[in-house]
Amino acid sequence: MRRREILGLLCGAAAWPVAARAQQASMPVIGFLGVADASASKPVLDRFHSGLREMGFVQGQNVAIEFRWAEGSLERLPELAADLVRRGVGVICTTSNVATLAVKRATSEIPLVFVFGLDPVLMGLVQAISRPGGNATGVSFLTSSLEPKRLELMRVLLPHVELVAALVNPDNPNAESHTKDLQATVPRFGLKLLILKLREFADFDAAFATLVQKRVGAVLVTSDPLFEAHRVRLVDLAASNAIAAMYPWRDFVDAGGLLSYGNSLTDAARHVGLYAGRILKGDKPGDLPVWVPTKFEFVLNLKTAKVLGLEIPAKLLALADEVIE
């Protein structure tokens, strides 16, 4: 091969990374702030990407995504949010209360698309559900209002239980509303309630030791990114201690949990992807109504029920949207 050809090949090879960087630099950039990590958030991420694809955006082809993961350390969220703001991304997406509030405090200019478990109007995220009016919009789950229904379903499954417990992360903005709703509901079913506060993964083992010591008949896991990130461990602890548990999302049941009742977190993630795509195409977040889902999923795991020695009443089987066998 002649010297000129060799030089041509070398120059061409050197140009590829430069061209790739230039192409990426010309793409719109989405920031994604997560509480857990990519592996624990895979079902949510899959549907988020699905929503983006519906709007014509594919990561690496015509959009870049900057992910920031707190890996369960909530105190890292403010700095991670500030980092995305410094990066100058076109829109920031979140799927938890704490991440959403961290971004809201970090910027009032960069569009924010959220999944939020509290009233976004009362929390100052938006001016109104139908017309947010500022830099934020997304999906609103009023998760605490579902705790009475979860307790009711658990009561049907376990009519002889007297003491139930709830796992709550006191650092979550919705912890107080979860606790108040449960305390107001338990007398209706003739139950006693034990609230256990878990702030970090290291608290899990001690919490379940307390459940066993107190002879708790059932446990409700409230919605929280800490519990979602470590759902497999929670499910394993419930199984190893033979405790019936009700969860807020179906992915706990997919991981082997007994039953769940709540909105679809993956559907919400798809909606976040759709809205992020619309904003990249020119829509203003203040003009996009906050989506408040009205569909709830009740999922049962018969295999787990069998291991626990529980017979699922026909009434619950008839109410279930899906039964995992």
Q: What does the domain layout of the chain look like in residue ranges?
A: 22-141+265-287, 144-262+296-324
Domains 22-141+265-287 and 144-262+296-324 share a fold: yes
Please give the Cα distance from 68 to 299 (Å, whole number): 31
- Percent with pLDDT over 90 in the chain: 72
Q: Residues of 264-303 as b/e, b for ≥16 C-beta within 10 angstroms?
A: bbbebbbbbbbbbbbbbeeeebbebebbeeeeebbbbbbe
- Average pLDDT of the chain, as a whole number: 90
| pLDDT recorded at residue 5 | 46
CATH code for the domain defined by 22-141+265-287: 3.40.50.2300
How far is it, in rounded angstroms, from Cα 139 to Cα 44?
A: 14
- pLDDT of res. 197: 96
pLDDT of residue 236: 97
- At 50 the three-state DSSP class reads helix
pLDDT confidence tier of residue 173, bands split at 50, 70 and 90:
confident
- Residue 21 has what pLDDT? 46
Distance CA 219, CA 207 (A): 11
| pLDDT at position 2 over 70 | no
Rounded mean pLDDT, 27-45: 92
The topology (CATH level 3) of 144-262+296-324 is: Rossmann fold (3.40.50)
Torsion 6-8-9-11 (CA) sign:
positive
Residue pLDDT, tens place only, 102-160? 999 999 999 999 999 888 998 999 999 999 999 999 999 876 678 888 999 999 999 99
**194 three-class SS:** strand
Distance between CA atoms of 75 and 200, rounded to whole angstroms? 11
Question: How confident is the model at residue 39, as a pLDDT?
Answer: 87
Residue whose pair of structure tokens reads 């950039």 in the numeric block? 29
Mean pLDDT of 283-301: 94
How much of the chain exceeds pLDDT 70, in percent? Answer: 91
